[in-house]
Structure formats: C-alpha cells, structure tokens
Structure 1
C-alpha cells in the first residue's frame, strides 16, 4: 500500500491506494485497435489490463472529504476471481486510510463521482459475511450523490444493470446519510464538483482550488493519461462517447488555463501529472513526489 500527500494551497489531498483490478482491454480502449493500444500497455493472456483504484481524502476547512470508495468487499468469490483480486485482500481502503492516519469515524463527507461499482462499492460493508445486510462504512459521514446519477442507478437498463447495485447506495439512504445534489456544487470554499458527462449522464470530477493553485480528480472522465493525450480514445464503458470527447476538451482547456495538477484514478503509471504542449500536441508529464 502507498500514500501520497499533496498540498493545493491550504487544502491537503491524500491519494489513497485501493489496490488494482484487471479489466478487459476492449472496455478501456473501445474502438481503438489492439495494434495501437498495445504500444501503451500490454495485456495478459485473457486480454486484461491493470486498472489501479485510487481514492482521495481531502482535508479542507475543517472537513475530511473522501472521494469514491473503490470496489469494497461485497463481491462474490467468482467476481473477485474475474477482477483478479486476491481472495484474502480485504478492507484495502480502510487499511490505506489507517496508514494515512484516518479512521472511518473521521470522515465527514463521502462524495461519489458516480455510482459504478468500482467507485462506490466501499460505501457500505457487510461485517458479518456476504449474507448480512450492508451498512454504511463511514458512520459519521453524509454521502453526496448527483440526483440524475442516483436515478440512473436506481432504475438501470440492460446495459447498466451490471455495474449499478442498490447495496452500494440504498443502505445509505435507509440510514439517513444520503445527501442528493444537483449539478455543480461547492463542498467547501476550496472544493467543488464539476459535472463531466459522457461516461455516465451526470458523472462528476472534483476540483480543488486554493491560494492560486488548482488540481482536478478526473475519475472516469479521463481514466488514463493516454485518454487525455488522444481525444478519440474513448472507453467502451462510456454511454455517450461524443459527449466524452467534448468533456475532455473542456477539462484540457481549464487545466491548461489554471496550470492544474491532474489526478488520475485508474492509470497504473501516472497518479499525478500536468499537461504540456509538445509539437502542437498535449502530453501528460508525471509530477514526482
């Protein structure tokens, strides 16, 4: 496990390790031929590529804000096998938070970028085994979820029902800890959400701005740096790829204007980077610790 700490003005950002899964390369790269994406990464014998799971813990104006909660531990042994998760690797997020100095009770706000299982599975946990009822993982937190995302997760269709699971959000509502938001909102004076559609209809990024410094947590708007460098590379998971491309253009324009640090949730090579222009093309340069 690893923990990286950033200072964005007065805000403190902890990048929290939630492990790694293996996902089909066709999902990550969509229509891009293997001959092209294999120059960027290699796949295993099942055509899977590594997907890192990172969450953020932001300390801002007296609030401790957890951005996303990973897959959690409610998967069946078969799903864990498919994802390449060791059967005994449990409570990864909670252990990583503890390594950074935080207990579940310390979290004031959990903000889900969206409600796909790899981003909100750790919202709840079953302390007494898979047959037990799920309970909120963070007992003192309010969980912030976009209204449209909650509606889509509550009434999934044939395409989305494989990644929207009520056990990840309904127990939060039942416990009275759900806070539904609508559009871009300020969480503190330094932290705000930014609706970045394409991956889902109301997927949101998280922006940190303080004392002239800026950073953005890209979540699934831009999962790997190469998706930012090559606009046409859009994951098959995105429900609206053309909107995804427009979202990426808007993020690039904002990030270059503010010289923002880019925090990648899933890229196994780059956790934090900046955009630089080289020969008329944008390139993501890793930022060392």
Structure 2
C-alpha cells in the first residue's frame, strides 16, 4: 500500500463561520485571519494505492465555479488536482475509484469538469462512491443551510454517467484491503471517514470532523456543522480513540499541517505532534 498527498489549492472562509461561538481572540492564535476576517484553508486530498486499485479520496473544489460564486472562495496557490497527480506519476485516467467523504462543493467539485459545453466526470475510468443516505440528503430535498454547497453541476453528471455507486452504510465496512469506512453525522448526514492501515499505523482521514488542528478542542465546531452537539460527541469519541491508540489524523483543510497526533492532557485531548505524511 502507498499513500500520496494530493494538494488541490487553497481557499478562504470567514473565521467566525469556521469557529462558531469561539471568540476570535482565541481561534486567531491558531488560524490567523486577514483584514477581511478570512482564514486560509487547504483542500488536501489523498491518493491510496491499494492492491490493484488507485483510490482518490475527495477532489477539491474544481475549476468550474461560476463567475458569480468564484469570488466568495478566494481560490489561490499553485497546486492543482491534475498537477498534484502528475507530480506522483499519475493521470486522471489512472484513477480506479473516487471516494467522496461528502458532497459539499469543496470536496466533490473536482470530480466533474467542463469539457466544452459538456459537464463530465473528470476520471473517465473511475467508479464514484458516496452512500445512499448522504446522496438523498444532498439531492432529494436539500436543507436551506446546505443547499448552496450541493451544486447540481457537481452531482448530476456523476449520476448520469452510470459510474456512481453507494457504499454500504455499515460502520467499519471494508472498502479495500487496507481501508475501512467510519460514519459521522454532525457536520452533515452520512459523512464518511476512511480509516487506513499504513506502515503499522492507523490513519483517519478526518474530512470536516476536524478541519484544522485549531479545531481539536471539542467545543470548537464550525457554524457549517448542521448538528453541532452531535459533532461535539463525535469529536470526543474520535479524540479518545486517537489519544489512546496514537492514531494519525490526516487533515484535509489545515493550510500548514498535513498530519497530527493527539494526547491526553489536564485540559482534555490536545495536539501532540504535527508532521507530513511522508514522515510516517
């Protein structure tokens, strides 16, 4: 098994929205904001080479945002999905599976590209994976809070392609030889967290459960979380497991740190070490 960090670029979101009721004087120590109160975030995906499968976990925001929407996200940086794959010796056509933790635009946008007047899946040979609960949550009757994150141009081409499949919604289901799936529901219903066995370590791809190291304290939940009390309980659960078992957390949105571990302290579970995936 091999793992590759796939950086797809940086974007910005309002710091207050990212930290909810936590005061700026506290959260700005770990996630400094610019003059517009915006925090820089990564869109860090993961490429998993497991047996004969090449699995891409999430895809970033993509390149097809409309001119009306584009300014809200302040996209910047030199990294792209295509360029990051190329740096590891791969192309889009090599991907066998695209595993989507959830269907918010900054996680699924790169799964579909604009080809002339047509929208089509970016990865021609891949199967795209979500789960039925989350798909229905995003498409049948999306709630007013999340509607703007579930863009039809990201979802309808996947369904039309016939390459969209659903992961069985069973806690701990085996997706590949070294990858299991865990489910959390506080951020959005049916978000999937890959749990990987790698070099005698366990790595949890935390998606939006812990966007950054600044979100490790249990009460530090984003306003984007639909069910904050549930998200807090899920954080508590995984922090306990991570501290007890030296679990590696792979961070999708932290602009500085790729991976971290946590430890028990007098103030609860807190950050222990930060490092790159290649340091494992």
TM-score where L is the length of structure 1: 0.89
Structure 1 position 90, deviation (Å):
9.3
C-alpha contact (below 8 Å) 1:29/1:235 kept by paired residues? yes
Q: Distance in 2 between matches of 1:259 and 1:62?
A: 29
Q: Which moved more, 1:175-184 or 1:55-64?
A: 175-184
2:226 is aligned with 1:236 = no
C-alpha contact (below 8 Å) 2:212/2:251 kept by paired residues? yes
C-alpha contact (below 8 Å) 1:144/1:179 kept by paired residues? yes
1:169-248 counterparts in 2 under 5 A? 169-183=155-169, 184=171, 185-210=173-198, 212-228=200-216, 230-248=217-235
Alpha-carbon distance change, 46 to 280 in structure 1, aligned in 2, over 3 angstroms: closer
Q: Distance in 1 between matches of 2:142 and 2:196?
A: 31
Structure 1 position 210, deviation (Å):
4.7
Structure 1 position 214, deviation (Å):
0.8
SS in 2 for 1:187: strand
Runs of 4+ in 1 over 4 A off after TM superposition: none
C-alpha contact (below 8 Å) 1:73/1:90 kept by paired residues? no
C-alpha contact (below 8 Å) 1:73/1:91 kept by paired residues? no
Q: Distance in 2 between matches of 1:268 and 1:281?
A: 24
1:59-83 deviations in Å (ceiling 9; x for gaps): 1122110000010011023422221
2:149 is aligned with 1:159 = no
Q: What's 1:149 paired with? A: 134
2:242 is aligned with 1:252 = no
SS in 2 for 1:255: helix
C-alpha contact (below 8 Å) 2:243/2:269 kept by paired residues? no
Q: What's 1:55 paired with? A: 45
C-alpha contact (below 8 Å) 1:153/1:166 kept by paired residues? no
Q: What's 2:81 paired with? A: 93
RMSD: 1.7
Which ranges of structure 2 fall in alignment gaps of 5 or more residues? none
Alpha-carbon distance change, 164 to 90 in structure 1, aligned in 2, over 3 angstroms: farther
C-alpha contact (below 8 Å) 2:46/2:57 kept by paired residues? yes
Q: Distance in 2 between matches of 1:46 and 1:216?
A: 33
1:10-30 deviations in Å (ceiling 9; x for gaps): x21111111100101121101
